[in-house]
Amino acid sequence: MSFERVLVVDDEPEIRRLLQEILQDEDYVVEIAANAAQARVAVKREQPDVVLLDIWMPDEDGVTLLKHWNAQGPLGFTVIMMSGHGTVETAVEATRHGAFDYIEKPLSLSRLLLTVRRGIETAKALRRPFPAFARDATVSLIGTGMVMRRLREEAQQRATRHDWLLVGGEAGSGRDTFLRYLHAHGPRRAGAFVDLSEARWAPALERALQHAQAEALEEAVRAAQGGLLCLGELLRLRPSEQAALLALLDTVDPQTRDIRIAALAASDMPPAAMVEAGRMAPSVARRFEAGYVRVPTLHEHAEDVPELLQYHAERLHREEGLVYRQFTVAAQNRLRHHRWPGNVSELVGLVRHLLNVGHGGEVDIDEADAALEALPTDASQFGVPAYEALLALPLKDARERFERAYLTHWLAESDGNISRLAEQAGIERTHLYRKLRALGIDLRRDRHKPAQAG
């Protein structure tokens, strides 16, 4: 049986005892140490998954101990710093030396348990042999954290249900990868995955829409027989075009329709909200509503960033011949705390850049910081995508991203007070409620949420 182990290092007996009791109640195996010397012995005796490390201790402080451990080579465990009043800046600085996170005293029980759980998941990912993921990225969902585990479970469940699937989420979050993973794990996996947005099929789609020719789609439908037909990015079409496309598909001979039909939507809004926002035809939303699934942003599963960095560094080395480089723990932590407005696509671009400019050797925190600073962003306080990226979007998409970022930001600033938000935005409360609903912003859920585009 595998036990999850936590080492508590603190010179105060009461804190050691309290943490030991709390964590044992959660079924962790807990060892305690009163100082750095005892902690060194404990780690040598049996490696923990997580170390809760106090900053100020007699003889040797926690940051010095952390530096000592990092000097021995890559850690197989994560270190969470514990800081009292006035030491938070020191704790933040400790993340530059490889600390996974920090928690402030007096300890919040929910914050403690959540941070320990994330630390354990990250430690397991660090120890996992990454070559196991060296498979085709189009059928792999990379990440071992809770969010990605649930997403894989949802894909496998939906693979046997719903002939109409709509995969929503922010651009760059991996919607196409999710759909291909779902297809690869479903009963129709022996059939083809036909994507109408690919160069081979795009002219047929254009003919079908411009001339209302169902015949233009017949070849694609036949190719997808027994498999999956992906309509591509649905929101790039006007609602009337969406409805026309589905109507044309309905006229194709039903005997050739043993296929699953899916589409992508670069939006966090569910189908009903897309209809209210004027971005989806009601008839289209009804088709896809039962089969709607949202792919999370990278920020929502940031614990998987170290694993994604490793995976894509290996993949780019293998597929594009770039010089392979590892990321130091400190660099991984820095990138894990980045908001990633461009999601996984942004991470892949950053990894490619770092492999291109390097000559081997590790990517350290200074190089990671420099790469992040070089990213072209606009209105970075909202965490929105690059200005150039917004210009590449259809006007409706760009406006939706900005409006969601703007209202989420001021909702948090006003602590959920709708009157203050309406005053700041300069719009009537009734209209504001409709706007929040259309953008999928929940007053209770998002009142303390940092703004991000999408």
Rounded to an integer, the average pLDDT of 245-272 is 82
Instruction: State residue 429's pLDDT score.
Output: 75
CATH number of the structural domain 382-446: 1.10.10.60
Q: Which residue has the higher pLDDT, 79 or 447?
A: 79
Nearest alpha-carbon partner for 316 in 340, 348, 292, 358? 348
Question: What are 272's two structure tokens?
Answer: 């009903």
Q: Which residue has the higher pLDDT, 300 or 386?
A: 300
Q: Which residue has the higher pLDDT, 448 or 153?
A: 153
Picking from 35-39, 86-90, 242-246, 249-253, which range would have the lowest pLDDT averaged per residue? 86-90
How many residues would you count in the chain?
Answer: 454
CATH number of the structural domain 159-294: 3.40.50.300
Alpha helices in 228-340 (DSSP H): 239-251, 271-276, 282-288, 305-320, 329-336
| pLDDT reading at 128 higher than 80 | no
The partner residues of 8 in beta bridges, in order of sequence, read 32, 52
Percentage helix, strand, coil for the chain under 3-state DSSP, each rounded to 5: 55, 10, 35
Taking all residues of the chain, what is their mean pLDDT, rounded to a whole number? 82
CA-based torsion, 352, 356, 362, 367: positive or negative: negative
pLDDT band at 417 (very low <50, low <70, confident <90, very high): confident
Instruction: State residue 376's pLDDT score.
Output: 54
Q: What is the DSSP letter of 254?
A: G
What is the percent of the chain with per-residue pLDDT over 70, rounded to a whole number? 83
CATH architecture of 5-127: 3-Layer(aba) Sandwich (3.40)
Kindly tell me the burial class for residue 405, based on how many C-beta atoms sit within 10 Å of its own C-beta (0-12, 13-18, 19 or more): buried
- ∠144-146-148 over CA atoms, to 5°? 60
Alpha carbons 314 and 199: distance in angstroms, whole number: 28
Instruction: State residue 386's pLDDT score.
Output: 44
- Going from N- to C-terminal start, the domains of the chain cover 5-127, 159-294, 382-446
Alpha carbons 196 and 175: distance in angstroms, whole number: 15
Instruction: State residue 201's pLDDT score.
Output: 82
pLDDT in tens, 324-358: 999 998 899 999 999 898 899 889 989 998 998 87
| pLDDT reading at 395 higher than 90 | no
| Amino acid identity, position 227 | G
DSSP 64-81: HHHHHHHHTSS-SSEEEE
pLDDT band at 209 (very low <50, low <70, confident <90, very high): confident
Q: Residue 5: in which H helix or E strand, if any?
A: strand 5-9
Alpha carbons 225 and 316: distance in angstroms, whole number: 33
Whether 5-127 and 159-294 share one fold: the answer is: yes
Rounded to an integer, the average pLDDT of 26-30 is 94
Rounded to an integer, the average pLDDT of 424-441 is 78
Instruction: State residue 387's pLDDT score.
Output: 43
pLDDT band at 172 (very low <50, low <70, confident <90, very high): confident
pLDDT band at 23 (very low <50, low <70, confident <90, very high): very high
| pLDDT reading at 449 higher than 60 | no
